[in-house]
Amino acid sequence: MDSATQFILGASVAGVTLGRTLGPRALLVGGLLGTLPDLDSFIPMGNAIDNMTYHRGFTHSVFVLTAASPVLAALLTRTFAALKDKFVYTWFAVWLCLITHPMLDSLTTYGTQILWPLGSSPPELSPVAFPSVFIIDPIYTLILLAGVIAFWRWRERGFKVLTVALAAATVYLGIGAMGHMAVKARAESHPAFQGKAIHVQPTPFNILGWQILGVDETEYVSALTGIAPGCAVVPVTRGARTAQPPATEGLSNSAKRLEWFTDGFFSYRQEGGNLILSDLRIGFSPSFVFSFKVAENIGGLLKAVVPERHRSDVPRTSQVSELLGRVAETLKTCF
C-alpha cells in the first residue's frame, strides 16, 4: 500500500495497543513503525527493474521484522517512562505495528517477499500476493483515519472509535479477500480463460470492480467484472504474448528477475527498434504501467541496455479515467 496508508495503519495499531499508556504519542510512534519497512525504497539497486523488484524485500520479511521488534521495543521502553516496566507488552505492540505492513502489502497485486530470504530470487517462489485491495484505496484509508483523528481529539471516547475503525477496516479487507475468491472462480469457469493462468485484482481505488488477466504461451486476455455474484465478465483486450525474448545480445539478469517477479504474467514486444518487457498485471495494452526497455536495435541486432522505464504516450490520468469509466459500465451489468 501507499506510505500514507501504512503510516495510518501503524498509528491505528499502536493507538489500540499502546494508546491508553502513551496517549496520542502512540499514534506517532505507530505511524513511524508502520512506515519503517519502506525504507528499502531509498536503496538504489542500479536500474529501474531492480529498483522495483527488490522493494518489499528483506525489510518486509517476517523474520527480519520479528528480530528487529525486541530491539525497537527496548528503545521505546527507555524513551518513554510509562513503558519502562512493560517490555513484553511493548514488544508485542511493536511487532504488530511492523508485521501488519507486509501483511497489508501481501493483499495487493505485487505482494511482498514476506518470507525473505526464502524465495527471494529466481527461480524461487514469487512474492506472496493475494490481491484483495488496490495499492491505493481511499475507503480503507479513510476508515482508519477517522479512528486516528477520533482518538487524537477525544482520548477515551476516541479510543473506542479507533478500535471500531480498525476492526471495520479489517472487515473491509476481508470483503476484498472474498471478492478475490469469487472473481477467481468466475474467471476459471469462463470460456475466455480456459487453459490459461489467471490473475485477478481490484481495479483502482475500490473493491467493487475487478480486473481479470489470463495468459498462456501465445496470448493474453483481460476482462472486467464486479464483486457481486450477478456481474458479467466483460472482455477488454486480447493480444499476442511473447514469453521468450527474441535473440538478444547480453540480456540482463534483471529481465529474468522481472519475469520471476510477475509470476509469469509478462510479455516481450518490439517497438520502435527497442525490446520492451511489460508486466501485464497493471494497465491494458499497449499502456501497461510497468514496462521497461531492455534492449535496442543496433546495426540490425538487438543488444541489451541498462533497463529503464518505458512510458506510454497516453497520460496516466487518462488511462485511469478510461479504466474507471469501463468499470462503471461493467458494474451496470450487476443489477
Q: What is the pLDDT of residues 125-172, one digit of tens each?
A: 678 999 999 999 999 999 999 999 999 999 889 999 999 999 999 999
Give the residue-averaged pLDDT of 270-275. 90
For 26, 69, 78, 83, the CA distances from 86, given in Å and listed in that order, are 14, 14, 11, 5
Three-class DSSP category at 216: coil
Average pLDDT of the chain to the nearest whole number: 93
* Residue 200 near residue 265 (C-beta atoms within 8 A): no
Neighbours of 144 (CB within 10 A): 25
Give the residue-averaged pLDDT of 190-205. 96
33-45: pLDDT as tens digits: 999 999 998 889 9
Burial of residue 299 (number of CB atoms within 10 Å: 0-12, 13-18, 19+): exposed
Cis status, amide bond into 235, omega within 30 of 0:
no
Strands annotated E in 142-208: 197-202
Three-class DSSP category at 244: coil
Q: How confident is the model at residue 335 (pLDDT cuts 50, 70, 90)?
A: confident
Residues ≥6 apart with Cβ < 8 Å to 135: 1, 2, 108, 109, 110
Tell me the β-bridge partners of 312. Answer: none
Better pLDDT: 322 or 96: 96
